Structure 1
Amino acid sequence: MARNKKIFGIDISKDTFDVVDSMGNYNLFSNNMIGFLKFFELLDSRSHCVMEATGYYHYPLACFLTEKHIAVSVENPLSVKRYVQMKLSRIKTDKSDAKMICLYGQERELSLWKRYSKNQLQCLQLISLLETYAKQSTSLKNKLEDQLTLGSPSQSAVKSLKRSLMNLQQETAIIEAEALALVESEHRQMLTKLESIPGVGRKTALTLIVLTNGFKRFKSSSQLCSFTGLTPVIRQSGSSIKGKNRISKIGNGRLRNLLFMCSFSACKSNRACRELYERIVNKGKSKKLALIAVCNKLLKQAFAIAKSGVAYNENYGSTVTVNQ
């Protein structure tokens, strides 16, 4: 970080946001336009504001500051959390969080935040809603199964659950159609090319485009795999501790689940994925591990296609390689 920059660490909650600058000064503001304007009085051209991506609470302030030409960085909460753990901080308050975010900004290389376009913001909200509906649908299906296993279930309860499921399915179809229309308005060709990958369906292609902002968020396929939570976590220490390797699961759960479902089809219809799956299984590895590897392969294929603009070609296996 440039020495002439003045870092402001910001911890945001629903109603307020705490601010600690690189000089140690502390302020508390309301999380609304009145608070934004008061905070802006403390800033100048050398100011750089750092905050965490806290749901949607950070978004209005980040937009306000960028419109005022103030440098803003919105960091992954997990990265900040790991930094706080490294510092062995035992204090957990909004003020202490703002202070740690400020220190994080002073010691780390920061990327400038860019606000979403209106289309992208709407798409993200729709995808988030679909994830909520998917969880609710699973909960209702499990509850319905519980009722049916009783042998003599309440017909009123069963009918109510079925009505709720039907309504949820109808709402899901409406939201999916709206999300599709928004994506096609900007990324129709990309969507078509992603769907050309054997095993990748429309829902997965749609979700990939929305969550990656048309694959602009990532410079390499490995970054995309990490974002999805499909990278392995190796647990080993010395010669005695050798834990079972697992995927990180730090990322978007809906996308990860969609890819896992795609992997079953890809093992049959996608030559590169099928060969990878068979190679891993023939080495004595578990089928689940092989399917996870297939998920990563699908992500790499999708990344290469999105970046190159070339449709899937089986003769080249995983298509054109771009920054993998």
Structure 2
Amino acid sequence: MKKYSFHIGIDVSKLKLDINLLHGQTLSSEHLVIENTPKAIKAFVKRLMRQDTDGSQLLFCCENTGVYSNHLIHTLTELGLDLWVVDALEIKRSKGISRGKSDKADAKDIAFYSLRNIDKLKLVTLTDLDIQKLKLLHGEREKAMKSLLLMESSKESSRFISKEVFKEISAINDSLVNAIKRAIKKIEDKIRTIIKSNQELSRQQTLIRSVPGVGEKTSVYFIIATKGFTTFENWRKFACYSGVAPFEYSSGSSIKGRTKVNHLADKKMKSLLQMCAMKSITIDAQMREYYDRKKLEGKNGMLALNNVRCKLISRVFAVVKRGTPYVDTYAFAS
């Protein structure tokens, strides 16, 4: 396990970065604030190097704050420095009992987290440019779909008010709805173009869609969530990430709760898998038999459907790892 001389905790916000420079041996620390820009980050790193600090002995650590972390991730990765991006909830729960909150204190907590949990270290790698584009486009599509639902809900008012009153907004509403639909189509076309132009992503999508019940939109989100199947070691870890892996709930002899899934999950992936599972049991005889068998074992419909979701994930990971499309063995059964 690599040992670092300095653990640099960074609390990321929109305009600034609160930095805590923690010495791994003496546990002495220094706090400073810089702008959240590539130029300021490079200047800070350059200043560290001037202090006779070996870049290989630096471990930068920050919370995953979405788009606000982009400057930090891209700049440090381009400079070849070690960066660890940790889920904010994990750092929060590792602190134990705490009172109050400030950016300065958060930066120090992050630095100490990286020191104490070095056995969990997982260095960040710069995501493929095409996957970054897909993630951004998918986010824009989600926002456009929400806007479309809001605008179309206005049509429900036409049943409860007079035509003379409703016509004041009808034309405006129709033009906005059509504009949003055109934008959604344009986004979807861009997504298809990006995947088609990338040989590896195109191959992965073809393999994913060969699994009965998995459609185009789910295949795209599989690629985004797994970063091209590079971030999860196996399908079980992804099932946990997606919120479909069951966990035991018991303690001693008094608490014997039922095994259930956890609410900490990628809700979008979970929702897509639910739709895929429902479709799968209607078009795939093998999956239908599996679903019915689980119900005969005494499981309720939702639990049996969750088993189908897990099986879909295992199939997707299997075909991608194997590199060959899904084969329906029932089609060859005598």
With the shorter chain as reference, the TM-score category is 0.7 to 0.9
Instruction: Name which one, 1 or 2, has greater alpha-carbon Rg.
Output: 2
Aligned length: 314
Alignment partners' CA distance in 1, 2:270 and 2:184? 19
Alpha-carbon distance, 1:206 to partner: 1.6
1:117 corresponding residue in structure 2: 128
Alpha-carbon distance, 1:272 to partner: 4.2
AA of the residue aligned to 1:176: E
Alignment partners' CA distance in 2, 1:132 and 1:37? 34
Normalising by structure 1, what TM-score? 0.87
For 2:241, which of 217, 227, 231 is the aligned residue? 227
SS in 1 for 2:48: coil
Cα deviation code 1:201-228 (max 9, x no counterpart): 1111122112212211111111111222
Q: Is this contact kept in 1: 2:41–2:75, CA < 8 A? A: yes
1:275 corresponding residue in structure 2: 289
Cα deviation code 1:190-210 (max 9, x no counterpart): 211211111011111122112
AA of the residue aligned to 1:28: V
2:262 corresponding residue in structure 1: 248
2:9 corresponding residue in structure 1: 9
Q: Is this contact kept in 1: 2:131–2:228, CA < 8 A? A: no
SS in 1 for 2:109: helix
AA of the residue aligned to 1:184: K
CA RMSD, 1 decimal: 2.5
- The gaps in structure 2 that reach 5 residues or longer are 23-27
For 1:55, which of 48, 54, 66 is the aligned residue? 66
SS in 2 for 1:72: strand
Identity of aligned residues (%): 28
Q: Is this contact kept in 1: 2:42–2:75, CA < 8 A? A: no
Alpha-carbon distance, 1:310 to partner: 1.8
Asked if 1:176 corresponds to 2:188, the answer is yes
2:30 corresponding residue in structure 1: 25
Alpha-carbon distance, 1:160 to partner: 4.1
Matches within 5 A, 1:145-184: 145=156, 147-148=157-158, 150=160, 152=162, 154-184=166-196
Asked if 1:105 corresponds to 2:105, the answer is no
SS in 1 for 2:29: coil
2:40 corresponding residue in structure 1: 35
1:63–1:150 CA distance, 2 compared to 1 (3 A): same
2:105 corresponding residue in structure 1: 96
1:219–1:243 CA distance, 2 compared to 1 (3 A): same
Alignment partners' CA distance in 2, 1:150 and 1:175? 35
Cα deviation code 1:3-39 (max 9, x no counterpart): 4431101110010011112232111111113421332
Alignment partners' CA distance in 2, 1:164 and 1:233? 45
Alignment partners' CA distance in 2, 1:181 and 1:247? 36
Alignment partners' CA distance in 2, 1:300 and 1:285? 20
2:75 corresponding residue in structure 1: 64
SS in 2 for 1:57: helix
Matches within 5 A, 1:191-230: 191-230=205-244
1:190–1:163 CA distance, 2 compared to 1 (3 A): same
For 1:81, which of 88, 92, 109 is the aligned residue? 92
1:166–1:291 CA distance, 2 compared to 1 (3 A): farther
Alignment partners' CA distance in 1, 2:327 and 2:142? 31
Alpha-carbon distance, 1:47 to partner: 0.6
Alignment partners' CA distance in 2, 1:163 and 1:275? 47
Alignment partners' CA distance in 2, 1:279 and 1:175? 41
Return 207-216 or 269-278, whichever deviates more. 269-278
Cα deviation code 1:41-93 (max 9, x no counterpart): 12532111001111111111121112222111111222222223xx2122311
Q: Is this contact kept in 1: 2:4–2:59, CA < 8 A? A: no
Alpha-carbon distance, 1:304 to partner: 1.0
Q: Is this contact kept in 2: 1:197–1:312, CA < 8 A? A: yes
SS in 2 for 1:50: strand
Alpha-carbon distance, 1:102 to partner: 0.9
Cα deviation code 1:138-159 (max 9, x no counterpart): 33444544x2563657344455
Return 207-216 or 128-137, whichever deviates more. 128-137
1:220–1:107 CA distance, 2 compared to 1 (3 A): same
Alpha-carbon distance, 1:111 to partner: 1.0
